[in-house]
Amino acid sequence: MKTFCKTMAVVLLLLVFSRGVLSQMKKESNTELRKATFGAGCFWCTEAVFQRIAGVVSVKSGYMGGKTKDPTYEEVCKGDTGHAEVLMIEYEPGQVSYSELLDVFWNMHDPTIPDRQGNDIGSQYRSIIFYYSEEQKNKARAKLETLDASGKYDRAIVTEIEPARTFYEAEQYHENYYNNNSNKPYCKLTIEPKLKKLGL
């Protein structure tokens, strides 16, 4: 009987310990990952960049900021839905900060031209940041003001900064576009030079 009681006590202690460890792991995983959403032109280009940033856990292409529910790529391309092509990024702040992601965002495109990036023209290609907290909003605005005052650009920055809205994930064939299509002309002519410019 004593042996049985001791065994049960050990089992209970192990259960309590394992639950505590699992609870702590879940708590840490919930607090460590953060979200950021950016629009900086065609998401084929921007996805390839952020996928190569250390600390970025996932990158999803999609649409945000418009009035149409469940928009399709074709609808967004017509420019009538009001959505921007965006990336929803999950990142580990212990490895990469939101400020560093903002630096990547502003260095990867020209934020001074409204509704256009290269040959991609339309409001869906506008430069935009969707924030998830007051902290993100304040950091984005402060960095925008600093960049504007730095003289880095000949024109004023036109990046919009708005609260995050409903994110509609893009069609499956848009995911991992560069990784799956690196030999296509668009990837060779547009995406590869951007990656090289950023040292990725």
Q: Known catalytic residues?
A: 42
SS3 category, 129? strand
Q: CA distances (Å), 151 to each of 146, 154, 155, 157, in order?
A: 9, 7, 9, 11
Q: Nearest to residue 110, comparing CAs of 152, 145, 141?
A: 152
Q: Dump strand ranges (E) for 41-104.
A: 56-64, 84-91
**What is the C-alpha end-to-end distance of the chain, expressed in Å?**
66
* CB-based contact 44:62 (threshold 8 Å): no
DSSP letters for 146-190: HHHHHT-SSS----EEEE----EEPPGGGTTHHHH-TTSHHIIII
SS3 category, 55? coil
What CA–CA distance (Å, rounded) separates 107 from 24?
Answer: 37
Q: What is the DSSP letter of 124?
A: G
How many C-beta atoms lie closer than 10 Å to residue 178's C-beta?
21
